[in-house]
Amino acid sequence: MEAEMSLFSLVTRASFLVQIVMMILLSASVLSWIIIVLKYKVLKQAGEEAVRFEDQFWSGINLSELYQQVKRKAGEQRGVARIFEIGFAEYVRTHKNKINTEMMLASVQRSMKVAVAREEDYLDSHLAMLATIGSISPYIGLFGTVWGIMRSFIALGAVEHASLAMVAPGIAEALIATAMGLFAAIPAVIAYNRYAEKVDRLSGTYENFAEEFATILQRQSDAMGESAS
C-alpha cells in the first residue's frame, strides 16, 4: 500500500507536461487493448468461418444450392463465403448473357479480386493503429523522461547544497513515463506481429480459394458448352 501511495504521489507531483505525456500513454494503452481484443475476435471468427465454408464447399454440394444458402444470409457473410457469393453471382450473370468462356472467366476473376481486396481491407483495419502505438509510445515516454530529468537538474542547480535525495523524486517520476511508454508499446507490437501473420494466412486462403473457384467455374462452363454442342 505504501509503494502504491508512493507511486501515486510521484505521478500527482510530476510536472504538468509529464502528466500530459502519462495521460497520452495511458490512453494509447487502453486503445491498443481495445483493438487487441476486438481484432482477436474478428480474426478468430474469420478463420473458423473460412474452414467451415471450405469444408462445405469441397463436400460435393451443388454450387447453385450452396449459392442460394449463402444468398439467404446476404449481408452476414464475410471472407470466403462472400468471395464465393460475388464470384458465382457474376458467373450466373455472364452465363445468362451468353458471354464466351474466356470473357466470363475474366469477369468472374475481376469480381472476386475486388471481393478479396475488400475482405483483406476488413482484416487489416486498425492494425496500422497498433503499429503506430507500438512504434511511437517509447519515444513519447522518453520525451517525458528527458523533460522530467531536465527539470530536476535545473532545480538542483538553483540550490547551494545539492544531494541525491533532492533529485531522486523528480528522476523517479520522469522514469515512470518511460515505463508507461514500454507498457503501451510492448503488447501493441506483439499483437501487431501476431495478427499481421494471421491476416497474411487468411489473405492467402482467400486468394487460393478465388483461383480454385475460378478454375471450377471454367471447367463447368466448358463441360456445359461441350454438352450443348
Examine residue 93 and state whether it is found in any structural domain, yes or no: yes
The residue among 105 and 13 whose pLDDT is bigger is 105
Higher local confidence (pLDDT), 78 or 155: 78
SS3 158: coil
| Res 159 pLDDT > 90 | no
Structural domain includes residue 7 = no
Q: Looking at the domain assignment, is residue 39 inside a domain?
A: yes
Q: Please determine, for residue 124, whether its predicted confidence score (pLDDT) is greater than 70.
A: yes
Q: What are the phi and psi torsion angles at 75 (to 5°)?
A: 95, -20
Domain that holds residue 67: 16-220
Q: Is the pLDDT of residue 104 over 70?
A: yes
Please indicate, yes or no, if residue 2 is contained in any of the structural domains: no
The average pLDDT across 152-172 equals 68
Separation of alpha carbons 56 and 59, rounded Å = 5
Residue 223: band (very low, low, confident or very high) from pLDDT cuts 50, 70, 90: low
Q: Which of 166, 176, 197, 120 is nearest to 4 (CA)?
A: 176
Give the 3-state secondary structure of residue 75.
coil
> 194: Cβ–Cβ under 8 A, 6 or more apart, which residues?
none
Number of domains in the chain: 1
Longest dimension (CA), the chain: 104
In a domain, 142, yes or no: yes
Cell numbers that stand for 216 in this block: 471450377
What's the angle, vertex CA 87, arms to CA 84 and CA 90, rounded to 5?
145
10: in domain? no
The average pLDDT across 69-76 equals: 78
Rounded percentage of the chain residues whose pLDDT exceeds 70: 83
Q: pLDDT tens across 189-221, in order?
A: 999 999 999 999 999 999 999 999 999 888 877
In a domain, 225, yes or no: no
Question: Would 3 be classed as within a structural domain?
Answer: no
Q: Which three three-digit cell numbers place residue 116?
A: 478479396
